[in-house]
């Protein structure tokens, strides 16, 4: 696709600086949050909530799959039929502290490991499952343009579009993600990070 080569608003030097910042930031934050991670693991153990962490396959840079890390907010085997199901209002699959963790994005903290590994960046598009990507691309094939960059822990769409729980919201999110990619810069990344922190 011809647009793939010129859609990215960052040049190679800016992308290298962005990656260096991701590595340094993720390493520092993981060290700072380690006691909190240990506390949460104990809470899961004491309350019988099952394993604290879970992984799920998402699609990222160059369209390649990777395992995203999260704190588990739902019961084990929440998707029994192996068909992806989006969270619903008053979802009975949520653990008693799951809704709080999701609303404050605490469940996303283990993604610092993904940032350190290079699967993700602090700012980018939110990585999606192949099932939903296929649904999106039935309507708008421009989703594949996002694969020139790493997905992010936060995004412009996260701030502007909120939690994405319908296909319509996914399509609106795509518009935000493409706009971010075309205009992204280190300054815009910092602005999105600060807005994310204050919104939480």
Q: 53-101: per-residue pLDDT in tens? A: 989 999 999 999 999 999 988 766 655 555 565 655 566 677 777 778 8
Q: What is the pLDDT of residue 35?
A: 95
User: What mean pLDDT value characterizes the chain?
Assistant: 88
Sequence-separated (6 or more) residues with CB below 8 Å from residue 88 = 165
Tell me the percentage of the chain whose pLDDT exceeds 70: 88
Are 29 and 114 contacting, i.e. CB atoms less than 8 angstroms apart? no
Q: What is the average pLDDT across 117-124? A: 98
Q: What is the pLDDT of residue 1?
A: 43
């Amino acid at each position: 696709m011809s647009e793939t080569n010129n859609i990215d608003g960052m040049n190679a030097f800016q992308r290298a600086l962005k990656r260096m910042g991701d590595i340094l930031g993720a390493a520092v934050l993981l060290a700072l949050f380690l006691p909190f991670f240990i506390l949460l693991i104990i809470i899961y153990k004491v309350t019988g909530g099952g394993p604290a962490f879970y992984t799920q396959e998402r699609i990222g840079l160059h369209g390649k799959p990777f395992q995203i890390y999260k704190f588990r907010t739902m019961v084990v085997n929440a998707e029994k039929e192996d068909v992806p199901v989006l969270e619903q209002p008053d979802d009975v699959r949520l653990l008693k502290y799951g809704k709080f963790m999701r609303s404050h994005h605490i469940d996303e903290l283990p993604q610092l490991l993904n940032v350190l590994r290079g699967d993700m960046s602090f700012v980018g598009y939110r990585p999606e499952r192949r099932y939903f990507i296929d649904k999106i691309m039935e309507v708008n094939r421009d989703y594949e343009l996002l694969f020139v960059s790493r997905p992010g822990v936060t995004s412009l769409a996260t701030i502007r579009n909120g939690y994405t729980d319908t296909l319509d919201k996914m399509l609106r999110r795509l518009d935000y993600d493409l706009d971010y990619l075309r205009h992204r810069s280190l300054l815009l990344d910092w602005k999105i990070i600060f807005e994310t922190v204050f919104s939480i």
